[in-house]
Structure 1
Amino acid sequence: MNSTPVRVSRLGYVNFETPDVQRLTEYYTKVLGFALVDESPQQVFLTTGNDHHCVVIDKAEAARGRSVVGYEIQEDLDSAQRRLKEAGLATERRTDIGPGTPDVLVLTEPETGAGLHLYESQTPSGVTATFDQRPSKLGHVAAYTPSTDGMRTFYESAMGFRWADSIGDFFVFLRCNADHHAANFMQSDTYQGMHHIAYEARDLNHLQIMIDNLARQGYRLYWGPGRHAVGHNIFTYHEDPDGNHIELFTQLDVMLDEEKGYYEPRPWHEHFPMKPTTWEADALAMNAWGPLPPHGLKR
């Protein structure tokens, strides 16, 4: 790929397929506090704020996370489509994707087959901010892939992402803006599909409110609270009703100065300045406070 990459500005939305739309919708509205913006028997659109949607729930025979990922771009779709074609990637321009995104450039993610949607902006949701358990935003989406090298090449060369960090030679973290990562991929010959999806809390107090509401609704954490060394976010993990792994987090690293190339200094950093690095595949990289997840690193 020798063409100039598309300029992705941020992660916009993710699609879930489920045999029980009502059950998953109730989880997002009652447990996580998302606002329901639009719905039909086959599809539901939910948001955390101004965007029309950041989660889409699709009716399907079997549960599947991360069937589609939507990214907002910093340029017009005509330009993006032209340069993706120059890079040898097939795209389709569509106006029937759904409410909130009237013009979308569709392509397929290599290695995983997931759909990728590129758009300039979403229709405003009309939803106001709250100070309850609702996350502040969709943070990042992780997936299994047969090749982290191939996926990294695609996202850097075609989508304009930057390398953020790696764990060994099998887990790569990629960013499209100042946030440490919007996409991360674990190499696996055994597993496929979504690894986890993450929603951001404003701060530790907000994270506590979110976790307390999980408990009230009968959901238990299976890992955390802890602190990842990679990205340094404080994390918690639980499963949604379909068994998808959901991370709630806060204090993710940010890179405010691209030219200097290091993350905004935090007292808990291991190095100063803290630059993108390849971490040893050990407990420290996964959790600076304690143990690995109960199932280990499923590869």
Structure 2
Amino acid sequence: MPLTAVRAGAYLHHVAFESSNPRQLADFYASAMDMVAEQTGEDEWRCSGPNRRFVVRRGTDRKLSYAGLACRDSDGLEELKARARSEGLDILADPSPYFQDGAFAVRGPDDQIIVFGVAKADTVVRKGLQGPTQHLTFATFDVEAFEAFFHGKLGFALSDRVLHADGTLATSFVRSNHEHHTLACFKSNRQGVDHHSYEAGDWNVIRDWCDRFASLGISLMWGPGRHGPGNNLFIFIEDPDGNWIEISAELEVVHDRPVKNWPQEARTLNLWGKAILRS
């Protein structure tokens, strides 16, 4: 089957999370993640920084409301919509404020809402630390179902897999553009979001993010380190609801190579040392 999502050049444009205290969460992202927070409804806030956007809606803590993936153009979007229809997927209404008319959503294997669209022009130039929204990683009971949906039905490309000793999937990384992964999924004892990530660009900008967190009294929960799959440098912090936030740098650019299988071990998750194994 064709790599339809890759042909559409889709990239993670924004994420929307639920929270029982949306104002507190929005204030945290404004401060910690160098964004501007605006209340856009009785129970909704939008946070924006340079090429990064985070939406907070009142609801259940740590629950993804939806993820917005922007396509390169309307032709790619329409091809992706046609692919979704041909695979028997229900085409849902677009809940995002950031996309032009014609955007659509689908429901993933763990009931997550994934929106595809063409981004509206951003008329406000935001200043601040480098860190575009980059990738979203899920936790699931069934990594095979994740891979079958995003690779098999929507045409994301497989980059890498992590395998348990018995050959079952521990992690799957899929991409919809040149970066190593747009979405990924860990086998876990729960369903939901594992983390979402922002791309710092290089090691010096990760340093600047660490200095910012330190000035705000925010401790790193993991890192600095370097992942095996993707080869990216990373740090992690946690927001007030318990969502994990990754600042990443130098993620592998994939042009044309075979899918690599990695063993499920600590050095796969962190070539430098301590790892947080999900399964």
Same-fold status (TM-score > 0.5):
yes
Distance 1:204 1:65 in 2: 31
SS in structure 2 at match of 1:64: coil
In structure 1, the residue matched to 2:263 is 280
After TM superposition, the structure 1 = structure 2 runs for residues 14-33 of structure 1, keeping only pairs within 5 Å, are: 14-33=15-34
Distance 1:89 1:107 in 2: 7
User: What amino acid is aligned across from residue 154 of structure 2 in structure 1?
Assistant: M
In structure 1, the residue matched to 2:47 is 46
- State whether structure 2 residue 118 is matched by structure 1 residue 99: no
User: Residue 221 of structure 1 contacts residue 237 of structure 1 at CA under 8 Å; is this kept in 2?
Assistant: yes
Distance 1:153 1:92 in 2: 20
In structure 1, the residue matched to 2:166 is none
- State whether structure 2 residue 132 is matched by structure 1 residue 137: yes
After TM superposition, the structure 1 = structure 2 runs for residues 1-299 of structure 1, keeping only pairs within 5 Å, are: 5-6=4-5, 7-36=8-37, 39-49=40-50, 54-60=53-59, 62-74=60-72, 75-76=74-75, 77-94=77-94, 97-103=95-101, 104-110=103-109, 112-130=110-128, 134-168=129-163, 169-188=169-188, 190-255=189-254, 257=255, 261-262=256-257, 275-293=258-276, 297-299=277-279
User: Residue 47 of structure 1 contacts residue 125 of structure 1 at CA under 8 Å; is this kept in 2?
Assistant: no
Output one character per residue of 1:159-202: Cα deviation in whole Å (capped at 9) or x when no partner: 221111111121011111111111000123x2110111111112
Q: CA deviation at 1:230?
A: 1.3
TM-score by length of 1: 0.82
User: What amino acid is aligned across from residue 139 of structure 2 in structure 1?
Assistant: Y
Q: CA deviation at 1:252?
A: 0.9
Output one character per residue of 1:34-63: Cα deviation in whole Å (capped at 9) or x when no partner: 23366333111222335xx63111112x21
Output one character per residue of 1:124-157: Cα deviation in whole Å (capped at 9) or x when no partner: 1412343xxx342111111112322221121123
User: Residue 139 of structure 1 contacts residue 198 of structure 1 at CA under 8 Å; is this kept in 2?
Assistant: yes
Q: CA deviation at 1:123?
A: 3.4
User: What amino acid is aligned across from residue 90 of structure 1 in structure 2?
Assistant: D
Q: CA deviation at 1:222?
A: 1.7
Identity %: 26
SS in structure 1 at match of 2:146: helix
Output one character per residue of 1:68-91: Cα deviation in whole Å (capped at 9) or x when no partner: 111112444554433322211111
Structure 1: any 5+ residue segments left out of the alignment? 263-274
* More helix by percentage: 2
Distance 2:260 2:159 in 1: 8
Q: CA deviation at 1:102?
A: 4.1
Distance 1:203 1:99 in 2: 30
SS in structure 2 at match of 1:70: strand
User: What amino acid is aligned across from residue 252 of structure 1 in structure 2?
Assistant: L
Distance 2:79 2:93 in 1: 12
Distance 1:254 1:175 in 2: 10
Q: State the aligned residue count.
A: 269
SS in structure 2 at match of 1:101: coil
The CA RMSD over aligned residues, in Å, is 2.1
| 1:39 to 1:157, Cα distance in 2 relative to 1, 3 A | same
User: Residue 135 of structure 1 contacts residue 200 of structure 1 at CA under 8 Å; is this kept in 2?
Assistant: yes
Q: CA deviation at 1:207?
A: 0.8
Distance 1:38 1:101 in 2: 19
Q: CA deviation at 1:204?
A: 1.4
Structure 2: any 5+ residue segments left out of the alignment? 164-168
User: What amino acid is aligned across from residue 105 of structure 1 in structure 2?
Assistant: F
| 1:253 to 1:82, Cα distance in 2 relative to 1, 3 A | closer
TM-score by length of 2: 0.88
SS in structure 2 at match of 1:26: helix
